[in-house]
Structure 1
Amino acid sequence: MNKKYNHYKLTLEHVYSPANEDLHRRVEVVFDNHDNLFSIIDLMQQKDLFGDMGQSTEFAIGLKMFGEVMLKNKDNALFEEFMPAFKDFMKKLKSSN
């Protein structure tokens, strides 16, 4: 864990399966992020880009977790073509409402 970063623990529980499949075990992940994720969630909920607070929260968490992994692995060939588009996307998002 980087002491300069915020530390988080995310717990994911599978609570329902429409196909009556066995529910998966709970997964917990501990991770760092340079941003205060709760501030980002609040900002996305205020922007209300999707007309749904739950989706705003999902979007904020998913985007920030993905973005942080990409930043930590910026030299990985997997992100080579995607990085410029992601930067443009983030600029557009930050300039929206």
Structure 2
Amino acid sequence: MEKRNNQYHLQLQELSLKDGSEGQKTLDFDFDNHDDLFQIIESVKSNKIFDSEQTAHEFSLGLKLFTEVMLKNRQHPLFEEFRPAVTEFMKKLKSQ
């Protein structure tokens, strides 16, 4: 049986730049993830890992996007030295 992933759509819109100018760029893309991202975001928020809900959103989404790329490219030499540290980090995070 084929393992199915959750599918998501992300829209990133540049609002303003640090030089004060108005943002112009947007990025839209679809992606899949083996985890329920909304459940993870809620878990990070409810466990109060960070003081800010905004930080919980940024952390959860960034971490899950990154780790999914690592999983899909586990043989890539770029992740070779980093993978053990990420594995330990994820264990620590899940224990909280």
* TM-score for both structures, normalised by structure 1: 0.91
- Consecutive aligned runs of 4 or more in structure 1 exceeding 3 Å deviation: none
| C-alpha distance after superposition, 1:17-50 (max 9, x if no partner) | 2302451311011100001100001001111212
The 1:61/1:44 distance shift into structure 2, 3 A limit, reads same
SS in 2 for 1:9: strand
Paired residue for 2:15? 15
Does structure 1 residue 57 correspond to structure 2 residue 52?
no
Percent identity of equivalent pairs: 43
Between Structure 1 and Structure 2, how many residues are aligned?
A: 95
Unaligned runs of 5+ in 2: none
The residue that corresponds to 1:74 in the other structure is 74
Q: Give distance in 2, aligned partners of 1:21 and 1:14.
A: 10
Secondary structure at 1:54 match in 2: helix
Distance in 2 between residues matched to 1:24 and 1:65, nearest whole Å: 24
Q: Distance in 2 between the 1:45 and 1:69 partners? A: 23
Q: Normalising to structure 2: TM-score of the pair?
A: 0.92
* Maintained 8 Å contact 2:15/2:22: no
Q: How well do the aligned residues superpose, as a CA RMSD in angstroms?
A: 1.5
